Amino acid sequence: MKKKPNLQGARKKIIDRLVSAGSVKPGENAIPLANLCTTFCAADELAKLPMAQARLKTAIPRMIRAFLEFDSDSARTQAAETRLVTAMVDLNELRVTPAIEVAAILGARYPFSEHRSSLLHRTLQSIYERENQMSLASLQTMKKTEVRSYLRTLSGITPYVEAVVALECFDVAACPVDTKLLLWLISKGVLDEHCTPLEAQQTLEREIVAKKMHNFYLGTRKELEDWAPKVWPTVAKVPSPVLAPPAVVSPPVAPAATRPSKTRATKPKPITVKKPAAKK
């Protein structure tokens, strides 16, 4: 039986490298307001709000941007975000827009546009069903563990999106891991090749200090800006069933033994009584 390789040394070096790549200057706010997603939010209004309120107001827009940015680069993400803002009036219109139309707005060449549009559509619908509005204000009074539990149970949300919103909008020490980062860490020998994004997230959250988590997130985005795997996993290429046309279900066919026979009804033959033969 083969022993698993000890990845602790290599993992620490990579984590330190990514943390230093995204480190902020001393005294600088860990999450400046300028870095928050302001889609469907007026920037001048956000500037007048305290940081905590601004984070809360941008929670859903930041979630939308997280759906656009996973497994993609910043230039494409920004362009896609601009197209959505131009096409939609507000968050409610985006919520009721079918996923196939959102994918068309993103464009056929956007990475996994159908898959991410379907996930986004399901998550926004899930928020509205719980809150009766497009807002996450109810999370303001929750504990950090409750915030993560709430986000994780939203339909369609991924570990990466959940971690980004928890980290940037609710100050939770969460580690965003998308497929791109996972494959990069595997290529560096930091994680096992059979590791999933959720398992990688849990592993990194155990090893990274909470106060360095945001620097690690920024460092991963910078490091992987111009990197892409040679081969994407098959799961990432499969569109969501929400976008597929409804299957035509044929009526069940009764078994041959129970099916009524289709033979033509025949008239009953007349009964004939034979006369006894005459005696000679």
Per-residue pLDDT of the chain (280 residues; tens, 9 = 90+): 555 556 678 899 999 999 999 887 766 665 666 677 888 888 888 888 888 888 899 999 999 999 999 999 999 999 999 999 999 999 999 999 999 999 999 998 999 999 999 999 999 999 999 999 999 999 988 999 999 999 999 999 999 999 999 999 999 999 999 999 999 999 999 999 889 999 999 999 999 999 999 999 999 999 999 898 888 877 555 555 445 444 444 555 555 555 555 555 555 555 555 556 665 5
SS in 3 state form for the chain? CCCCCCCHHHHHHHHHHHHHHCCCCCCCCCCCHHHCCCCCCCHHHHHHCCHHHHHHHCHHHHHHHHHHHCCCCHHHHHHHHHHHHHHCCCHHHHHHCCHHHHHHHHCCCCCCHHHHHHHHHHHHHHHHHHHCCCCCHHHHHCCHHHHHHHHHCCCCCCHHHHHHHHHHHHCCCCCCCCHHHHHHHHHCCCCCCCCCHHHHHHHHHHHCCHHHHHHHHHHHHHHCCCCCCCCCCHHHHCCCCCCCCCCCCCCCCCCCCCCCCCCCCCCCCCCCCCCCCCCC
Domain residue extents for the chain:
8-237
Tell whether domain 8-237 is in CATH 1.10.340.30. Answer: yes
* pTM more than 0.85: no
- Site of tokens 């997130």: 217
Q: How far is CA 74 from the centre of its chain?
A: 18
What whole-number distance in Å separates Cα of residue 185 and Cα of residue 14? 8
- Site of tokens 């915030």: 147
Does residue 126 contact residue 156 with C-beta atoms inside 8 Å? yes
